């Protein structure tokens, strides 16, 4: 059986990656539609060797598809998705619009594919940083029972979209030429700098990005009381998010057990040979599907505590690929 599939936000970084992955993974597509804002209507996007004409994203047009993969703003998704879902199209939404809605499953296929059984035609794709963290942590939790996470993220500018990538490149040139830098996308210059703020601050002085990781991880792993402390930082890297994770479990473990579990875990690839300088980093992970784990070591002082380093392509596994994997799970499950 083949399906009508719509990519909404097809001209953006994530939308273009969705098209690329749909082609690579040879999904059973009867018809493919590309939607974006009215400004992009009439332009074309690539699907393999084909060119797909972009239409304006209107609910009645999107609803002609069996499945709609959305990579659009939160407010627009809140407006469009329920209308499309009412018409029978299954929506897989990459924005924050529905992630904490109790009636909407929030899914990472390597972790909680069973939650897809409860969908009501809208499924939420998690935050990019959340996805790579739970893919690495969940197989360890199943064996050792996770109690607390302390994580610091080092997030690339592509997480903010095309304009952020352009700003980093432009600022880099201006800085090297000795010119004054005028930030537009970020609150401060990002070239040769890091910014310890992603999204707005909430009343508790944690950013919205940090609280997304707390709330989403609890929902995905079905651990509503899990203790999670997060610091999210923007760094001058084009693509690929990195995370330094300290995880405390209720049960003791050996490093051999950790390696065995991670080596068998779906979606995980271990790169960890410190004496040979082998560990994950963003340039290596660019364009790859896996969540890469390295720098694995027991904490020097805290019992049952593991320190490790996680890197993934935020546009691919952190967004587009995860959405396509959700689609594949639904198709597989009938």
Cβ count within 10 A of residue 203? 5
pLDDT tier at 105, thresholds 50, 70, 90:
very high
Same structural domain, 87 and 218: no
CATH number at residue 30: 3.40.50.720
What pLDDT digit, counting tens, does each position of 237-267 carry? Answer: 999 999 999 999 999 999 999 999 999 999 9
In this predicted structure, what is the pLDDT of residue 333? 86
Same structural domain, 117 and 155: no
| CA distances (Å), origin 246, targets 150, 152, 182, 243 | 5, 9, 36, 10
- As a whole number of angstroms, the distance between CA 158 and CA 129 comes to 13
Same structural domain, 107 and 154: no
What pLDDT digit, counting tens, does each position of 1-15 carry? Answer: 899 999 999 999 999
- Give the tokens for residue 273: 């040979």
Domain count across the chain = 2
In this predicted structure, what is the pLDDT of residue 166? 97
What pLDDT digit, counting tens, does each position of 202-251 carry? Answer: 999 999 999 999 999 999 999 999 999 999 999 999 999 999 999 999 99
| CA distances (Å), origin 56, targets 4, 35, 80, 314, 329 | 17, 6, 12, 26, 28
- Give the tokens for residue 29: 């597509």
What pLDDT digit, counting tens, does each position of 53-103 carry? Answer: 999 999 999 999 999 999 999 999 999 999 999 999 999 999 999 999 999
Same structural domain, 42 and 145: no
Same structural domain, 69 and 213: no
Sign of CA dihedral 238, 242, 291, 327: negative
CATH number at residue 303: 3.30.360.10
Same structural domain, 86 and 185: no
Average pLDDT over all residues of the chain: 97
Domain that holds residue 327: 3-125+319-332
Q: How many degrees, rounded to 5, is the angle at CA 307 between CA 315 and CA 275?
A: 90
What pLDDT digit, counting tens, does each position of 180-190 carry? Answer: 999 999 999 99
- 144-183 as b/e, with b when 16 or more CB fall inside 10 Å? bebbbbbbebbbbbbbbbeebbebbeebbeeeeeeeebee
Same structural domain, 112 and 242: no
C-alpha 175: how far from its chain's center? Answer: 30
Same structural domain, 100 and 135: no
Same structural domain, 121 and 250: no
- The percent of residues above 70 in pLDDT, for the chain, comes to 100
Same structural domain, 106 and 135: no
List active site positions: 128, 241
pLDDT tier at 279, thresholds 50, 70, 90:
very high
DSSP letter (8 states) at residue 316: I
Same structural domain, 290 and 233: yes
Same structural domain, 169 and 241: yes
Q: Is the pLDDT of residue 277 over 80?
A: yes
- As a whole number of angstroms, the distance between CA 58 and CA 8 comes to 10
In this predicted structure, what is the pLDDT of residue 319? 98
- The percent of residues above 90 in pLDDT, for the chain, comes to 99
């Amino acid at each position: 059986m083949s399906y009508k599939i719509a990519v909404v936000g097809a001209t953006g970084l994530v939308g273009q990656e969705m098209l690329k992955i749909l082609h690579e993974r040879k999904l059973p597509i009867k018809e493919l539609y590309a939607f974006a804002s009215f400004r992009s209507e009439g332009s074309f996007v690539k699907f393999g060797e084909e060119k797909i004409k972009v239409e304006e994203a209107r609910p009645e047009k999107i609803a002609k598809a069996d499945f709609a993969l959305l990579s659009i703003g939160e407010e627009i998704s809140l407006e469009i998705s329920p209308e499309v879902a009412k018409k029978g199209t299954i929506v897989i939404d990459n924005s924050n619009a529905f992630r904490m809605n109790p009636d909407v499953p929030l899914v990472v296929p390597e972790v909680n594919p069973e939650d897809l059984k409860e969908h009501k035609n809208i499924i939420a794709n998690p935050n990019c940083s959340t996805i790579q963290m739970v893919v690495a942590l969940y197989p360890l939790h199943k064996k050792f029972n996770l109690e607390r996470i302390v994580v610091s993220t080092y997030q690339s500018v592509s997480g903010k979209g095309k304009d952020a990538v352009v700003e980093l490149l432009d600022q880099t040139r201006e800085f090297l030429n000795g010119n004054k830098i005028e930030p537009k996308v970020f609150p401060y210059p990002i070239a040769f700098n890091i910014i310890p703020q992603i999204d707005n601050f909430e009343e508790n002085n944690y950013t919205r990005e940090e609280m997304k990781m707390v709330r989403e991880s609890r929902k995905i792993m079905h651990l509503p009381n899990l203790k999670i402390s997060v610091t999210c930082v923007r760094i001058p890297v084009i693509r690929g998010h990195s995370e330094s994770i300290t995880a405390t479990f209720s049960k003791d473990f050996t490093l051999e057990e950790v390696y065995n579990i991670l080596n068998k875990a779906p979606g995980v690839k271990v790169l960890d040979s410190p004496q040979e300088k082998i560990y994950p980093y963003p340039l290596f992970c660019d364009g790859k599907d896996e969540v890469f784990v390295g720098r694995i070591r027991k904490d020097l002082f805290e019992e049952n505590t593991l320190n490790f380093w996680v890197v993934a392509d935020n546009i691919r596994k952190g967004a587009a690929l995860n959405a396509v994997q959700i689609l594949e799970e639904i198709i597989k499950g009938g």
